[in-house]
Structure 1
Amino acid sequence: MSDTLTLPRRPRRLPPRLRRNPMAALALGLLLAIALAAIFAPLLTSFDPYETALRQRLQGPGNGHLLGTDSQGRDMLTRLLYGARTTLMIGCAGTAFGALLGGSIGLCAAFYRKLDGVLMRLVDVLLSFPSILFGLSLAAILGPGLDSLILAVGLSVMPGIARISRGAALSVMTQDYIESGRAIGLPDHRLLTRYLLANAYPPILTYTTLAFGDAILLAATLGFLGLGLQPPTAELGGIAAEGRAFLFIAPHVSTAASLLIFAIVLSFNLLGDALRDAGDRRAQ
């Protein structure tokens, strides 16, 4: 018998309904604009995000500072650009870690049925904790720092991704090509990657996009509570927390950072909802 197996038909490209969704297009455009502005921050501003100028502290928008200055006289626009870079990096790294770990757990639970009970009970225990509370606990245990923050964010989003990936993989496991691959002796790693993952990834990708917003919000929350990156590192949650003491005399400090966090999280949620709706329509 031949040791090759014809791959199942690949999923179609992005559905036309998703491409025509104005909210998805707006969310994607806003995210790209924020990400590009954060990446090319040194080209967009001539100010140093960490250089203080106490004589110019808490100035309102104008006078050479488009969004004003913070409590140390630093340019707010510059701080926001560099803070967005840090927050997006934490969200990307944390979500990637959570998706890799959670996706692997879910796929293995569906593929190796003997491991299903053990892995899913562990996931159920983690899901019983609110993600914010779980992230706060991990950050408090691990201490401040970039690595511990990424780990806390990743472990917080991991259980939901594991549950979704298991459900998606179980539906793929019922297909004939999985049994055919086993019958001709394909190794497990090939079945897991080329057949199971290749056909179970759409719902995993959709949920991961939604989890991205949760990861950004969690990272900002930890920074706001002082459990994230420590000052003077530019990070959106930390910038918002710094402005709490000056809400009545300089509301622009906290307001600008909070609005940027809101825009990022809302954009990821809108994009995830659009992906989910497109997948539901395609399944009909």
Structure 2
Amino acid sequence: MSSPALSPAYRHSILTRIFGTSRPHIITLAAIIMLALIVLAAIFAPLLSAHDPVLMVPSERLKPPSADHLLGTDAMGRDLWARILFGGRVSLIVGAGATLGAVVIGLPLGLLSGYFRRLDPVIMRIMDGLMAIPGILLAVALIAIIRPSLTTVIIAILIPEIPSVVRLARARVLTAREEPYVEAARLLGTRGPTMLVRHLLPNTVAPIVVQSAYIFAAAILTEAALSFLGVGISAETPSWGNIMADGRLYFSIKPSLIFWPALALTLTILSINIIGDALRDALDPKTSKRKG
């Protein structure tokens, strides 16, 4: 006996609740379009700018916007438009890598913690220890210990996010264990991995998807904060945080050096959070009933 599958009608109702009505909700739709454009711009960055984002041309420093430099140049003569496009690549990779890592590590631990009572105290005490340390401080400490790089930043950001995934998955498993279909499967002799994969894992997918959206946004913001503080990705690598860090010294004479990367960062995080809220409202039965 397996957990109930999602029927086409139920999938349609989820999509309907995501957009608020049978017609797409304008705010959610705008967020999806905005995020899609940002992702496509990052993917096709080499096609959208003919300039090298790391090439320094001192004679072109602090140039205003022009046909050759759409957003002007920074203090090193680098094209700002190119740096924002390629910086989006770095920020999105960090967000995706941290989210994927947190889910891949946290979801199995949450399933094991919720199902096996002997493992629960051990796993949860480790998670409590990680949660006791502020995420940004833990990230800074890890980066200080290990040589700064893109991989190091991703690892430093994902580790503080693991406890939230573990606790959420554990809570869903503890609730699902009392469901009739789980009891029936247990009476039929289903045990261990089969029980976890076939009956308990499907119940954690929806909340984990919602949580992943918030982790994605938080990871991008954390990377920008770390880079702005000078403890993230190396200064030579364009990222939205690095671009703002480079421009802060020239803010009084050219505020656009901070404005444009900050705008890209804001639109990305805002879009992800709006999509996450829409998914939460669609997949949370209590919210759905209130709206119904």
Smaller-chain TM-score range? Answer: over 0.9
Residues in 2 aligned to 1:16 and 1:91: alpha-carbon distance in whole angstroms: 28
2:174 aligned residue = 170
Q: CA deviation at 1:283?
A: 5.8
Task: Name the Cα RMSD after superposition.
Answer: 1.7
Map of 1:63-102 to 2, 5 A cutoff?
Answer: 63-102=67-106
Q: CA deviation at 1:141?
A: 2.3
- What is the TM-score normalised by the length of structure 2? 0.90
Cα–Cα, structure 1 residues 144 and 170, in superposed 2: closer, same or farther, change >3 Å?
A: same
Letter in 1 for 2:172: A
Deviation string 1:16-51 (CA, Å, 9 cap, x unpaired) is 021233222221111110000100111111111122
Map of 1:1-284 to 2, 5 A cutoff?
Answer: 5-10=1-6, 12-13=10-11, 14-19=14-19, 20-280=24-284, 281-282=287-288
Q: CA deviation at 1:6?
A: 4.2
Q: CA deviation at 1:66?
A: 1.1
User: Any stretches of 5+ residues in structure 1 without a counterpart?
Assistant: none
Residues in 1 aligned to 2:64 and 2:256: alpha-carbon distance in whole angstroms: 7
Letter in 1 for 2:116: Y
Residues in 2 aligned to 1:7 and 1:259: alpha-carbon distance in whole angstroms: 44
User: Any stretches of 5+ residues in structure 2 without a counterpart?
Assistant: none
Q: CA deviation at 1:163?
A: 1.2
- What is the TM-score normalised by the length of structure 1? 0.92
Determine if contact 2:153/2:232 at 8 Å carries over to the other structure: yes
Q: CA deviation at 1:107?
A: 1.2
Letter in 2 for 1:21: H
Letter in 2 for 1:171: T
Residues in 2 aligned to 1:185 and 1:16: alpha-carbon distance in whole angstroms: 38
Residues in 1 aligned to 2:201 and 2:289: alpha-carbon distance in whole angstroms: 18
Residues in 2 aligned to 1:279 and 1:221: alpha-carbon distance in whole angstroms: 31
